[in-house]
Homo-oligomer: A and B are copies of this chain.
Amino acid sequence: MAKRLGTDTLLLPTRPVILGRGAVGGKLEGEGPLGKQLDAVFLEADMGEESWEKAEVRLQQAAIRRALDSAGCPAEEVELLFGGDLLNQCSATSFALRELGIPLAGLYSACATFALGVAMAALSVDGGGFRRVMAAASSHFCSAEKQFRFPLEYGAMMTPTAQRTATAAGALLLQSAGEPLPPERAAAAHSVCVEKVLFGRVNDLGVADANSMGAAMAPAAADTILRFLKDTNMQPTDLDCILTGDLGEIGSQLLLELAKCEGGVDLAPVHRDGGRLLYDTAQQDVGVGGSGIGCSAAVLCADVLPKLERGEWQRVLYVGTGALLSVITPLQGESIPAIAHGVLFSVAP
Contact = CB atoms under 8 A, between A and B. Distances in A.
Number of copies of this protein chain within its complex: 2
Contacts of A104: 109, 199-202, 339
A51 B106 contact: no
A1 interface: yes
A103 B7 CA distance: 11
Contacts of A201: 97, 101-104
B129 A98 contact: no
A134 interface: no
A204 B99 CA distance: 10
B2 A91 contact: no
A244 interface: no
B88 A328 contact: yes
B199 A95 contact: no
Contact of A90 (B53, B80, B91, B108): B108
A157 interface: no
A310 interface: no
Nearest to A91: B326
Contacts of A128: 1-3, 127
Contacts of A79: 4, 8
Interface of A: 1-4, 8, 10-11, 50-51, 53-54, 79-80, 84, 86-91, 94-95, 97-98, 101-110, 113, 116, 120, 123-124, 126-130, 199-202, 204, 324-329, 332, 334, 337, 339
Contact of A337 (B51, B98, B120): B98
A204 B98 contact: yes
Counting from the closest, the 5 A-B pairs by CB-CB distance are A127-B127, A2-B129, A1-B128, A94-B324, A89-B326
A136 to B, nearest CB: 13
Given A126-B127, A127-B124, A328 B91 contact: yes
Contacts of A326: 87-89, 91
B199 A94 contact: no
Contacts of A51: 332
A337 B94 contact: yes
A79 B7 CA distance: 9
9 contacts: A4-B130, A8-B103, A91-B324, A95-B324, A95-B334, A97-B201, A97-B202, A106-B116, A124-B127
Contacts of A328: 53, 88, 91
Given A88-B326, A91-B326, A124-B127, 15 more contacts: A1-B128, A1-B129, A10-B129, A80-B199, A88-B89, A89-B326, A91-B325, A94-B339, A95-B324, A97-B201, A98-B337, A104-B109, A104-B199, A104-B339, A126-B127
A220 to B, nearest CB: 11
B53 A329 contact: yes
A207 to B, nearest CB: 13
Contacts of A103: 8, 199-201
Contacts of A199: 80, 103-105
Given A1-B127, A10-B129, A109-B106, A329 B95 contact: yes
Nearest to A3: B129
Contacts of A53: 328-329, 332
A11 B113 CA distance: 27
